[in-house]
A and B are shown apart, each in its own frame.
Chain A
Amino acid sequence: MFIGTEKLTHTYMPGTPFATKALHDISFNFKQGDFALIIGPSGSGKSTLIQHLNGLLKPTSGQVVFEGKNISSDKQELLRLRKRIGMVFQMPEEQFFSETVFDEVAFAPRNQGFDDNEVENKVIEALKKSGLDPDELRMRHPFQLSAGQKRLVAIAAVLSLNPEVLILDEPTVALDTAYRKNLFDLLTGLNHKEGLTIIISTHHLDEAAALANRVLVLKQGELAMFGPAAEVFGRREELYNLGLALPPVTEIMHGLAEKGMPVKTSVYTLQEARQAINEVKRRDRS
């Protein structure tokens, strides 16, 4: 097992009259190199679940597993773990506190105790990996960047640790279409070229659906579905009942299929849809 949980249960404020069960008996595992999605309506426990994966929250019962081992609660080990499992929070630009982009990105490597030279290398590398120009941006004030650039700087601030797993909580929230596409292109690149394992928690499937190979669905703190993307997305009705919408293009394909067109429905991008429809036309002719 690369990264996952075993019978994970999490209760907020246990032992008080306010105790609420946020997660119940969750077991799953993602493989190295996966592009995984954790989806579910808001309040289903997505954020709580991913915060367990790098030890920010401790399970009330059950285990979090990384590389076959239960993650420990030892402070030093947790620090090492968080270096390997990077986590980008929702609206990460709201964490900015430095006066330059450089310092912002350098925060994590500095915390890990690297010397100035190494820090500089890591910052420049992280900015490049995030698709940003280090020379242009390093001395800029992070608050003065565009919304899309801010988000990328926030991701660079985590990539500067060279993590093997990158977890992102709702990475595209409040970004418009162009920025969203840009961000997903970046994540695809990191996944393919750098072999980074990517785990995204989201309720916005439009861009993510096409990229994912493994999907976990949460419903009120319980595991509703888990499996290869094609299998989970095939259960359209169930997703719909959970208030989750497949990408509009997939809906179009389902619409065509319902009207009797023999078209493939596991289609998540415009180009795939175009191909699938053309294929039907070719078959018709022959």
Chain B
Amino acid sequence: MTRSITLGQYIPGQSFIHRLNPRLKILILVLILVLLFLLETFGALLASLATALAMFVLAGIPFSYLMRGLRPIFYIAFFALIIYFFFTSGGVVLLRIGFITVESEGVEQGLFIVARLVALVLFSLLVTLTTTPLSLTHGMGYFLKPLRYVGLPTEEVAMIMAVALRFIPTLMEESQRLMRAQLARGADFETGSIFRKAGNMVPLIVPLFVSAFRRADELAMAMEARGYRIGARRTRMHEDIITFKDWGALALVLVLVALVWVLSL
């Protein structure tokens, strides 16, 4: 039972950041990411880190989620630091171990890169934590809309994405159950060569596919019974309205980007 697994990373909330229009949220994120690459001083970077943290507080996201989100980049950050510390020369020698030296330039650059990385991750995390996966896909779907003109059925693709999102937890639960069921029959998913391992996965993969197809069949039936028709016009319960606030947020970030650009010139 994986009742506790939430879909994606979304944490429900009613903050200003939660309520931003998902389309604009994605656009703003892209702008902020560009901005982070434009920043060249430590001060500016620290300011943006502080901004990110402030926004986490505003959005009411517990500190533990923030740490969990940062965990995947821990090793990358660690190795980046090592490489910069030991292999970049310049500035004052801070530490000497045998023939290896740590010089101030390396420390500075290393810390700068890591700070930028952390800021990038924090802002992206902020978006995924405050937007439901469904809105996120709809938001991204919006930017795919031009592809309609080259023959991609974007509405249907959006529906497929939404259904996929709905079934991820169900199928995860199912694969976990299947795995245990076959383990109970003495299956072995861990030992042996890679080919043996692949062969051993058959008792897992075949039933998973059979079940997925059966589910798909029943779901298609249920959708049809509820009047879904491919190509027919649909509306959405929650309209994708861009409010004055959304425009305001976008304008603010645009001004920021412009300012940084000008200052860095």
Contacts and interface: CB of A to CB of B under 8 A. Distances in A.
Is any CB of A less than 8 Å from a CB of B in the complex? yes
A158 to B, nearest CB: 7
Contacts of B203: 95, 97, 107
Given A12-B4, A56-B184, A111-B188, 4 more contacts: A18-B5, A20-B4, A89-B177, A89-B181
A95 B207 contact: yes
Nearest to A143: B210
Interface of A: 12-13, 16-20, 22, 43, 47-48, 51, 54, 56-57, 79, 82-83, 86-87, 89-90, 92, 94-97, 107-108, 111-112, 143, 157-158, 161
What are the 10 closest A-B residue pairs judged by CB atoms, nearest first?
A111-B186, A97-B206, A18-B4, A87-B184, A89-B181, A108-B185, A56-B180, A20-B4, A97-B203, A95-B181
B254 interface: no
Contacts of A79: 186
Nearest to B203: A97
Contacts of B4: 12-13, 18-20
B62 A161 contact: no
- Of the four ranges (under 10, 10 to 19, 20 to 34, 35 or more), the interface on chain B belongs to 20 to 34
A284 to B, nearest CB: 52
Nearest to A79: B186
A161 B4 CA distance: 34
Contacts of A87: 181, 184
Interface centre among A89, A95, A111, by most chain B C-beta atoms within 10 angstroms, is A95
A177 B127 CA distance: 52
Contacts of B2: 12
Contacts of B62: 17
Interface in B147-196: 177-178, 180-188
30 contacts: A12-B1, A12-B4, A13-B4, A13-B5, A16-B68, A17-B62, A17-B64, A17-B65, A20-B3, A22-B1, A56-B180, A56-B184, A79-B186, A82-B186, A86-B184, A87-B184, A89-B181, A89-B184, A92-B181, A94-B211, A96-B210, A97-B205, A97-B206, A97-B210, A107-B185, A107-B187, A108-B185, A111-B188, A143-B210, A157-B185
Interface centre among B4, B62, B178, by most chain A C-beta atoms within 10 angstroms, is B4
Contacts of A108: 185-186
A161 B98 CA distance: 63
Nearest to B174: A94
B216 to A, nearest CB: 15
A108 B187 CA distance: 7
Contacts of A43: 3
Contacts of A13: 4-5
Contact of A12 (B3, B68, B207): B3
Contacts of A54: 184
Contact of A83 (B178, B186, B206, B210): B186
Nearest to B188: A111
B202 interface: yes
B41 interface: no
Interface string B1-17: 11111100000000000
Contacts of B211: 94
B121 to A, nearest CB: 18
A97 B207 contact: yes
Contacts of B182: 95
Contacts of A86: 184
A161 B1 contact: no
Nearest to B64: A17
A51 B185 CA distance: 13
Interface centre among B2, B62, B205, by most chain A C-beta atoms within 10 angstroms, is B2
A211 B2 CA distance: 32
Contacts of A90: 177
A108 B184 CA distance: 9
A143 B64 CA distance: 47
B10 to A, nearest CB: 13
Interface centre among B177, B178, B186, B188, by most chain A C-beta atoms within 10 angstroms, is B186
Interface centre among A48, A87, A94, by most chain B C-beta atoms within 10 angstroms, is A94
